[in-house]
């Protein structure tokens, strides 16, 4: 069976730890591994805009000895004239792996079901698992561990980033506290899954509408845009609903004294985070953005060995 990475728990806790440690090792010796020597080609498909994901996959595939083939959906047949299944059949005969940023998780599942080469989720409406690998690498670099730490997520908790924090951090044995206004809390399905994973790995899950409660004594404070790609029509309403959920210096002061701040980026200063916090001493967002490269290289190298 081909291994894919469509969501955070497509890997075990042990595999996640192996990939995180491998990313840290590869960061220290950037051109040491060449699983795509040949060079083999990796397809990277975008149905949504991107800076970090586009750059880090292109650079990472090159670092690994391969050639990135960036396909913007606007210029391919995918989704308009040709089905996902037929696209998978064409790609699997020519590329080593398929990386796809899209809307519906079902599309990724269909791609994977029809592909003999690994499919990687580069963000869907439901999950952003590559971002979480990079965040966990950053957390391990900053604290020397992941298990036992407390991460607080404040903002839109019914989006891909909140879902991925809940599941990936639970897998890493962390305590996850999520805070959002009512109506923007994670789905029961995601919370139940995260609680089961947390219980099995020594972590815990807290869901609250009080941001101060979530952030209390947290080691890591994170947020994300209030208006994810595809939700633009709700932008004005969301800015009103989320106005008490900005991560500012006052909220950060409730976290642990040596807490760090992370954000997957792009960030909207003055909305989900104040400029003082994201540009301040506790912020690790540029280290986090760089770690997309190292985390995804470790993931791709690891997947190449599983299949
Ligand atoms: N964090 C992230 O995925 O950024 P991009 O949307 O720029 O790829
Ligand atoms: N939740 C955001 C993440 C961007 C990297 C979005 O989906 O737009």
Q: What is the 3-state secondary structure (H, E, C) of 171-210?
A: HCCCEEEEECCCCCCCCHHHHHHHHHHHHHHCCEEEEECC
- pLDDT, tens digit (0-9, with 9 covering 90-100), for 252-292: 999 999 999 999 999 999 999 999 999 999 999 999 999 99
- pLDDT, tens digit (0-9, with 9 covering 90-100), for 189-202: 999 999 999 999 99
Predicted pLDDT of residue 73: 82
- Using DSSP, state whether 294 is helix, strand or coil: helix
Mean pLDDT estimate for the chain: 97
40, 131, 282, 296: which is the annotated catalytic residue? Answer: 131
Rounded to an integer, what distance in angstroms lies between the CA atom of residue 268 and that of residue 266? 7
Rounded to an integer, what distance in angstroms lies between the CA atom of residue 52 and that of residue 64? 18
pLDDT band at 204 (very low <50, low <70, confident <90, very high): very high
63, 264, 282, 284: which is the annotated catalytic residue? Answer: 264
183: region left, alpha or beta (phi > 0 left; psi from -120 to 50 alpha)? left
**Sheet order of strands, 175-179 included:** 204-208, 175-179, 150-154, 220-223, 260-263
- pLDDT, tens digit (0-9, with 9 covering 90-100), for 48-76: 999 999 999 999 999 999 999 999 988 88
9, 47, 125, 224: which is the annotated catalytic residue? Answer: 224
100 Cβ contact list (under 8 Å, min separation 6): 44, 45, 47, 107, 108, 111, 119, 120, 121, 122
Per-residue pLDDT at 307 exceeds 90: no
Predicted pLDDT of residue 75: 82
- pLDDT, tens digit (0-9, with 9 covering 90-100), for 15-34: 999 999 999 999 999 999 99
Q: Is the CB of 225 under 6 A from ligand 2?
A: yes
Contact 181, 245 (CB under 8 A): yes
93 Cβ contact list (under 8 Å, min separation 6): none
Based on the residue annotation, tell me whether 292 is a catalytic residue of this protein.
yes
Taking the centre of ligand 2 as the mean of its atom positions, its distance from the CA of residue 141, in whole angstroms, is 24
- pLDDT, tens digit (0-9, with 9 covering 90-100), for 226-239: 999 999 999 999 99
Distance of CA 168 to CAs 190, 240, 251, Å? 11, 30, 24
Based on the residue annotation, tell me whether 224 is a catalytic residue of this protein.
yes
- pLDDT, tens digit (0-9, with 9 covering 90-100), for 151-164: 999 999 999 999 99
Based on the residue annotation, tell me whether 128 is a catalytic residue of this protein.
yes
Which one of the ligands is nearest to 124 CA? 2
Rounded to an integer, what distance in angstroms lies between the CA atom of residue 74 and that of residue 23? 32
- pLDDT, tens digit (0-9, with 9 covering 90-100), for 38-51: 999 999 999 999 99
Q: Virtual CA dihedral for 137, 139, 142, 148, nearest 10 degrees?
A: -130
Predicted pLDDT of residue 115: 98
Predicted pLDDT of residue 74: 80
Rounded to an integer, what distance in angstroms lies between the CA atom of residue 267 and that of residue 277? 11
Per-residue pLDDT at 80 exceeds 90: no
| Average of per-residue pLDDT across 124-148 | 99
Which one of the ligands is nearest to 53 CA? 1
> Going by CA atoms, what residue is nearest to atom 6 of ligand 2?
228
Predicted pLDDT of residue 167: 99
């Amino acid at each position: 069976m081909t291994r894919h990475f469509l969501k955070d728990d497509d890997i075990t806790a042990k595999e996640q730890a192996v990939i995180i440690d491998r990313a840290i090792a590869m960061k220290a010796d950037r051109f040491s591994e060449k699983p795509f020597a040949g060079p083999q080609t990796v397809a990277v498909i975008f149905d949504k805009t991107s800076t970090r994901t586009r750059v880090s996959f292109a650079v990472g595939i090159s670092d690994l000895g391969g050639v990135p083939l960036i396909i913007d959906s606007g210029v391919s047949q995918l989704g308009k004239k040709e089905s996902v299944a037929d696209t998978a059949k064409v790609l699997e005969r020519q590329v080593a792996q398929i990386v796809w940023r899209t809307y519906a998780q079902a599309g990724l599942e269909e791609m994977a079901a029809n592909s003999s080469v690994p499919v990687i989720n580069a963000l869907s409406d439901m999950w952003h698992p590559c971002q979480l690998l990079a965040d966990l690498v950053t957390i391990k670099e900053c604290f020397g561990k992941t298990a036992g730490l407390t991460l607080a997520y404040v903002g839109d908790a019914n989006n891909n980033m909140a879902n991925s924090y809940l599941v990936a951090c639970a897998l890493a044995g962390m305590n996850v506290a999520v805070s959002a206004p009512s109506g923007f809390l994670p789905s029961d399905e995601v919370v139940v899954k995260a609680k089961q994973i947390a219980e099995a790995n020594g972590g815990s899950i807290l869901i609250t509408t009080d941001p101060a409660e979530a952030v209390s004594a947290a080691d890591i404070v994170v947020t994300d845009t209030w208006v994810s790609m595809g939700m633009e029509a709700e932008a004005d309403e969301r800015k009103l609903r989320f106005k008490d959920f900005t991560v500012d210096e006052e909220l950060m002061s409730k976290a642990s004294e040596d807490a760090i701040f992370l954000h997957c980026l792009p960030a909207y200063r003055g909305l989900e985070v104040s400029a003082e916090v994201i540009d301040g001493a506790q912020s690790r967002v540029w280290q986090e953005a760089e770690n997309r490269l190292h985390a995804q290289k470790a993931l791709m190298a690891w997947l190449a060995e599983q299949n």
